[in-house]
Structure 1
Amino acid sequence: MDPLSEAVLAGASPETLSAAPVPDRYLAAHLRVEDVRMFTGVEDKDVRKSLRVGEVPMPELAPDEVLVAVLASSINYNTVWSAMFEPMPSFGFLKRFAATGGFAGRHDQPYQVVGSDGAGVVVRVGVGVRHWRVGDHVVVSPAYVDDQEPATHGDGMMGNEQRAWGFETNFGGLAHYTVVRATQLLPKPAHLTWEEAASVTLCAGTAYRMLVSRQGADMKQGDIVLIWGATGGLGAYAVQMVKNGGGIPVGVVSSPQKAELLRRLGCDIVVDREELGLGGAENGPEETVAAGKRLGRIIREQAGGDPHIVFDYVGKATFGLSVFLVRRGGTVVTCGSSTGYQHQYDNRYLWMNLKRVIGSHVANLQENTECIRLFDLGHLSPALSRCYQLAEVGEAARLVQTNSHIGKVGVLCLAPEPGLGVTDRAARERIGEQRINPLRLPIAAEAL
């Protein structure tokens, strides 16, 4: 371990951190451009074969950037896409970014460090950074925006040069160090451990924009919200936000064990997919309508009406049902599409019933700030279920790839063990360990 990493783990002062040399190379989970065609003609694109852990060169810091020593990160589905080289190799994103010129040219490398979540310690700041200092404990938003674009100042997600850090950029969070723009940083909730905090920004921020923000569904008290994949990374945060905001969450899961976990999250109505006769992404129109009618009856009987909002990140397997089920004038809000991007639905249900579909992507800095505040207050809890070491990142990503996980799967980077990083013990005791970690109770292992 290099002297700077040792100083971070020792809790050294900002002065000591600033004096320690930045290493020339660092350990990172990364992909190699020569592996791009390794899955051609292969049905099971096992990400354990493409994700490498090894040293990569330390990039130069731009004036508006910050170097963060990463204590923990987590797996998101975009890392799975990158490691499968689908729907296209993410090295193409790096080339297009590099073509914009200046410091962006650093990102076009024969390797890509992946990962779009992170929690750690600021160890260097660029000369143009004003609001962050060496020694600050931070979490990283995946929204990599260009603050010189006019559209960014209306909504950070609307700029043409907005990118997902660690997916459409290089130098991501599954590493000992990461380079991020200052506009990606947020204060780490002081009562959370490194791995808990690292499970928050991408999925919770995305769920916040989808449900709570005016840019999304603009949920109000009393709204009935159908949540597909309700014990997944996004779904577990969506359930909490609906409940916290006075709505009525309806969660759909795939096993009795996951149903029990969902009840622990406070979900009002829990539905097992088996009750609906859903077999996956290849349901035909008749099966889809029949399943929709069954689910609609369940929701009306238990919630008193059809959903005002459907929260859909599953995609191909559920989107037709989402459009069918949402009430007249209601909203389907969608992102991700983990089961496939090509959605089919009967447009009559959309146009004749004046329904809306809203596409949503990550969250702007203000939305993520409001979201993190809810964690600080103890109103939201991390969705972390288990944690791996950086050397085991392939296994962690494989768990997500095969949908064998619940909530978020964490990865320890510089942190030698779980449970470190809490600087406000009083707040943690006040909120309560069980409430902070609802998916890390013994039942969580059974659900896997």
Structure 2
Amino acid sequence: MSTPNKPAPVTPVLTKRWLSPNSWSIRTYEQLEGYTAIRKALKGTPEQLVELVKASGLRGRGGAGFPAGVKWSFMPPNEDKPHYLVINADEGEPGTCKDIPLMMADPHSLIEGCIIASYAMRAHHCFIYVRGEALHCIRRLNAAVREAYDAGYLGKDILGSGYDLDIVVHAGAGAYICGEETALLDSLEGRRGQPRLKPPFPAAAGLYAAPTTVNNVETIASVPFIVNGGSDWFRTMGTEKSPGPKIYSISGHVTNPGQYEAPLGTTLRELLDMAGGMKDGVPLKFWTPGGSSTPMFTAEHLDVPLDFEGAAEAGSMLGTTAVMVFNETVSVPWAVMKWTQFYEHESCGKCTPCREGTYWLTGILERMVAGEGTESDIDTLLDICDNILGRSFCALGDGAVSPITSGIKYFRNEFLALCEKNRKRNPELVGAQPGVQS
């Protein structure tokens, strides 16, 4: 057991090759146990692999935390239609920066995971959908895929097993909405990225209306380690319901921001210790456990276990473990406004609650931060959030309201202080309706 002041030592799993010379090359990868898992996997049956991943308890690392093995089992056993594996490497959530470093430092771990997962789901085509702005990452992945083809790990009759697989690296068009799995599929098909109505779910009718599984980069990169180490070994890390290691992206006012691998269930107190503490000693004010679309936490939540259950019980979500740390110099209404501006810009416009709601939320917050808000604006913000939450077509709307509702919950006094400034400057506005100019 670790104490609040001294985290237990962590043996790297997902990041163990990152600091090796030329870690992205197939030569380094093979020297460090690379491409040994597919040899074991291809000797078994697809059903055995699905059961292994189920037994490991691996949960989706893209934010939702859905059990990966269960998701794989949704794929139909017959092959009347082609089966597809699609890797979601869009990574557009503010503060999230774990998948691109993983693909840059160790792309072959993702490729090997793709081969194993594709074999388990009887897929012969795999697509890695990378955020279009990440050109360096796209080039490195393409080079790694070429190396894998040349070495016989991709293409026809992989390692003499009779199994064929092709991998395509696809550059996205740079839209946050394409992180939503069905919007990603529309974009991959060459259409505008917008979420689809579910059902049908991708496992029944996904890419090109064929059975498809969409998984996050970190989820699939974990698979070779599970095949080599076994499900019991994987469960020695993390918690009972959230097993395994996790890459935490720590940014903001910490001494050493970056990627930190730790077992699921690690607390912010432990992560801050790894990251050298708060920068310049300025105390912590608020933070996000999983990016800006997860409700914020405060200094009171330092010891919340950062796993799927712990974050939810404390009133937030684990999300993508994008831990953004803010010290006491930051205005909460200003930070909330900046995040809301992002969501307004990235709303695809398909549904009214998100399209119109984010527009009005941004307008009110901008007015408040400019010192022109009234107390009734706070109630209006919460009312708009209530009309977006659970009513938008996809999770973007739900994520957009999280910073606002949690910000007002923990720091209502800061929002009120902005209104107080306006009241002192314009006494005639007391009781004015929100949005009405006097």
Higher relative contact order (CA 8 A, sep 6+): 1
TM-score scaled by length of structure 2: 0.27
Larger Cα-atom Rg: 2
| Structure whose residues are more often strand by fraction | 1
| Structure whose residues are more often helix by fraction | 2
TM-score scaled by length of structure 1: 0.26
